[in-house]
Structure 1
Amino acid sequence: MTLPFSRTREDVVDDLERQVSAMKREISSLRRSAAERGSRAYDEVTSRGSHAYDDVAEIVADLLGQLSRRSRPGRREVKRQARIAGAAVRDNPKTTALVGLAALGLAAALLMRR
């Protein structure tokens, strides 16, 4: 029967090398898992941003319809601003999605404080 402290230096080095190798494999697995989760989260945020853009475009279209019945000069200005905002959202969907999520998070945090 050998005692644990009676092992040779080579046995200890071999054991440590096996542990390091196992840790490297585990880290590699964790990295792959994190990359997959990050990719899924990115896809979800992009999809939600696209849906949010569609919802906002629909609301703006409704508002423009209401304005068209009221006044011509105001309608033109709102339409111009809506085109500028729409172009900004189309050009930067990731930023728009992140800003939207941040705004929702801030609103949720404020509501939770009450």
Structure 2
Amino acid sequence: MALFSTLSDVDLDRQVVALSRQLDDLRKALAKRGDAYYEDGRGTSSDYYSQLADRLHEALPAIGRRGRALERTARDHPATAAAVGLVVVGLLAGLLISRR
């Protein structure tokens, strides 16, 4: 306690003001870094989205052809399509139940 008795109120006020200024400087520095990280993240996500859109655009005709072939197969073999559908539903139900 003797250490605190030697400090005057003016010294304490000066220290509080100095600490407040340092906190403000730290807040500003963090805000600048946060803005930079946000911009980097936004740019990166935009690049990933563009790449994904390009790949999907290139793959869309092949996906359409395979979808039509699958539809024809399901029409030609309805019992097989129903059995495969039931197996998929059963697998999904099993996965959902096992997570509990």
Q: How would you bin the TM-score normalised by the shorter chain?
A: 0.5 to 0.7
The one-letter code sitting in structure 1 at the alignment partner of 2:8 is T
Equivalent residue pairs, number: 68
Asked whether 1:56 is paired with 2:83, we answer no
Which residue pairs with 2:9 in the alignment? Answer: 9
Q: Matched residue of 1:11: which SS?
A: helix
Q: How much has 1:4 moved relative to structure 2?
A: 3.3
Runs of 4+ in 1 over 3 A off after TM superposition: none
Q: Which residue is 1:43 aligned to?
A: 43
Residue of structure 1 in register with 2:85 after alignment: none
Alpha-carbon separation, structure 1, partners of 2:37 and 2:15? 33
Q: Percent identity?
A: 10
Q: Return the offset for 1:6.
A: 1.8
TM-score normalised by L of structure 1: 0.52
Q: Runs of 5+ in structure 2 lacking a partner?
A: 70-98
Structure 1 Cα separation of the partners of residues 63 and 34 of structure 2? 43
Matches of 2:21 and 2:62, distance apart in 1: 62
The residue type equivalent to 1:3 in the other structure is L
Which amino acid is 2:42 matched to?
Y
SS at structure 2 position matched to 1:49: helix
Superposition RMSD on alpha carbons, in Å?
2.3
* CA distance in 2: counterparts of 1:3 and 1:49, whole angstroms: 61
User: What are the ranges of 5 or more consecutive residues in structure 1 without an aligned counterpart?
Assistant: 71-112
**Following the alignment from structure 2 to structure 1, what is the Cα–Cα distance between the partners of residues 23 and 58?**
52
Larger radius of gyration: 2
Q: Provide the rounded CA distance (Å) in 2 between the counterparts of 1:5 and 1:30.
A: 36
The structure, 1 or 2, with the larger RCO (C-alpha pairs under 8 Å, 6+ apart) is 1
